[in-house]
Amino acid sequence: MQTHSQVTLVQEERYRLLVDAITDYAIYMLDPEGRVSSWNPGAQRFKGYMAHEILGKHFSRFYTEEDRAENLPARALSMAQTEGRFENEGWRLRKDGSRFWAHVVIDPIWSPNGTLLGFAKVTRDLTERKRAEAELAKSEQQFHLLVQGVTDYAIYMLDPNGRITSWNAGAERIKGYSSAEIIGSHFSRFYTEEDRSAGVPEKGLETARREGRFEKEGIRLRKDGSHFWAHVIIDAIRDDTGELLGFAKVTRDITSKVEAQKILIQTREELFQAQKMEAIGQLTGGIAHDFNNLLMAVLGSLGILKRRLPDDPSLMPLLDNAIQGAERGVALIQRMLAYSRKQDLNMAPVDIPDLVSGMMELVQRSVGSTIQINASLPNDLPCVMTDAVQLEAALLNLIVNARDAMPQGGTITIHAERAKPSGKDSRQFVRLSVTDTGEGMNEATAQQATTPFFTTKGVGKGTGLGLSMVQGLAEQSGGKLTIESRTGAGTTISLVLPVTESDPATLSVEEDHNAEKMVPIQTSLTILAVDDDALVLMNTTLMLEDLGHKVIEAYNGSQALQVLKDGTQVDIVLTDHSMPKMTGAELASHIQAEWPHIPVVLATGYAELPSGAGAQLPKLSKPFSQQQLEDVIATAIQ
């Protein structure tokens, strides 16, 4: 049977074997002064010392120079002795001088009678863990710097309930809140009142919680209450067990992008509208040209017929009615031409206050007694460059439209003012506006108001060309037409026309002087009439012969030139402009080159206005009357 001493020796041997078997921990003993008194293989592996190299040496040699200077070894032993244990982490030294990160536990060893026998020291090498922690800390710091360095995106965290727990510089720039102002607040404060009432913030979190991600664009609020268009992503953040830790929220201000897209869409729509209007204008101009020729034949023939028929009371009213109907057709054609910008404008400086004052009596008669007319026209307004007659017609058209918008009566205000230049256009403009207090138009109606043949007046009460004509006049004058209207708030339609420095009085005197020099034709002339339309040519010939002239007919420019080359004596050439192969202007150029003494008059239906030298020729607008024909011939031969 073993004695107590033998049992103790066996236990001590077992403990020694156990300690020596441990290589992941340095386990060794210190005497009361701190000198190493035992050394296990783990200590040898960590520290690099063999047992015979370290036994009897003071354990402070394992500490760094900085720790020894602060007397950390002695303090560690003192704390272990007084408090029963010392535990710490820090840098320690190996035999080769390299450092490792150690977790240290020092326990005092006491004898049964309370005498300090020494210390048990356990050291663990945590260098790899320390390196991993350092890498993690570095990574987290880099991520933090990255997130804080991003200013184009608001990047912040939310807790599971939607309260803000972090805030980057981009969030401060975009939202306007500092981190001190916003952390702890619910993220729903960035949403509009309508979105909050509809539960949009909660739906976003619920979608992210359920599907892992939520993405949307919408209107958000800044600190100052202003709106911006935002692209928002919310990602759910979960731990390894799947428990929801919160949400990562990324917001980008895409206001500029959305505005650019709107401008692009608007520009495309405007381009499409312009192309559509241009196509309609081309079609309208072509139709107007053909109708001009037809009305020319009708009016001319009716006029000659009226002069040649006896004054029969049963026939004259019918004839007058036919002429009146044809003249209304001419007025309609003129509106079509005005819209298509193919009318021949008599461009001259126009004093708007004088023009409006001169037509106020006519305007008042046109609108009736239930409507009040107010005029606000500064006398210091500069003149505008346009056609005075056409501007007067356009203004009257706008006033009549305003009257029709107020069947129960109201007020019409005519106002003129200087208009600021727009965009890159540095020219000066005058804005002439007609405002009514009528029922107004909704946005869709206002957008279609200048479309040809669009009318809100009902069948038989309007041609739908009034505003189209006004727009055509404005654009052909180098300006534009604008419409401001709202349902129930009246309408303002403005003509924006370019300013000119010329004096209108000078031109008027010159025109009067030229008019005084015109002398009626006393002799019979030989006239070469050229037109590719047989009806028009026949009608022109009848009117010229009725005036006592001799007429030679040609159906195109080549035939006309051949007549002249044959030596036929011609006093004047009257030619249509829009003809195939050779236009009237081109024919005039040939005549002026070969026979410069022969004057040329250009008849045009405005479908294709001449340019260059043709623009300087005397012109006769189709359809023309016999009196107009006589006047232009008298002007051309003098």
Task: State pLDDT tens for residues 123-175.
Answer: 888 888 888 777 776 666 665 665 566 677 888 889 999 999 988 888 888 99
Task: State pLDDT tens for residues 127-138.
Answer: 888 887 777 766
- Rg of the chain (C-alpha set): 51
Comma-separated ranges of CATH 3.40.50.2300 domains in the chain: 516-637
Segment among 309-323, 367-381, 503-517 with least mean pLDDT: 503-517
Sheet containing 116-125: give its strands across.
Answer: 25-30, 116-125, 99-110, 86-93
- How far apart, in Å, do the first and last CA atoms of the chain sit? 161
Write down the pLDDT at residue 286.
63
- The DSSP H or E segment spanning 157 is strand 153-158
- Report whether the peptide linkage leading into residue 623 is cis, meaning its omega lies within 30 degrees of zero: yes
Angstrom distance (rounded) from CA 435 to CA 442: 16
Segment among 50-59, 89-98, 411-420 with least mean pLDDT: 411-420
Average pLDDT over residues 312-321: 78
What lies within 8 Å, CB to CB, of 74 at 6+ separation is: 34, 60
Segment among 29-38, 61-70, 289-298, 578-587 with least mean pLDDT: 289-298
Does domain 150-253 fall under CATH 3.30.450.20? My reply is yes
Segment among 60-69, 230-239, 443-452, 597-606 with least mean pLDDT: 443-452
CATH class of the region 4-126: alpha beta
Segment among 44-48, 77-81, 550-554 with least mean pLDDT: 44-48
Angstrom distance (rounded) from CA 476 to CA 224: 47
Q: pTM here?
A: 0.41
**Is the separation of the CB atoms in 611 and 586 below 8 Å?**
no
Write down the pLDDT at residue 552.
94
Q: Above 70 in pLDDT, residue 422? A: no
Q: Above 90 in pLDDT, residue 572? A: yes
Write down the pLDDT at residue 575.
92
Q: Residues 516-637: name the CATH superfamily.
A: Response regulator (3.40.50.2300)
Q: Above 70 in pLDDT, residue 516? A: no
Long-range contacts of 321-325 (CB under 8 A, 24+ apart): 322/298, 323/299
Angstrom distance (rounded) from CA 26 to CA 95: 14
Write down the pLDDT at residue 419.
83
Task: State pLDDT tens for residues 9-22.
Answer: 445 555 455 555 56
Angstrom distance (rounded) from CA 286 to CA 313: 39
Residue count of the chain: 638
Q: Above 80 in pLDDT, residue 250? A: yes
Angstrom distance (rounded) from CA 355 to CA 411: 20
Fold of 348-505: Heat Shock Protein 90 (3.30.565)
Angstrom distance (rounded) from CA 66 to CA 456: 95
**Is the separation of the CB atoms in 390 and 398 below 8 Å?**
no
Average pLDDT over residues 444-462: 57
Q: Please give the residue that has the higher pLDDT: either 579 or 72.
A: 72
Comma-separated ranges of CATH 3.30.450.20 domains in the chain: 4-126, 150-253
Q: Please give the residue that has the higher pLDDT: either 459 or 269.
A: 269
Task: State pLDDT tens for residues 357-413.
Answer: 888 777 777 777 788 888 888 888 888 888 887 788 788 888 888 888 888 888 888
Comma-separated ranges of CATH 3.30.565.10 domains in the chain: 348-505
Average pLDDT, the chain: 80
Angstrom distance (rounded) from CA 477 to CA 385: 7
Angstrom distance (rounded) from CA 99 to CA 89: 13
336-340, 400-404, 504-508, 513-517: which has the highest mean pLDDT?
Answer: 400-404
Write down the pLDDT at residue 323.
77
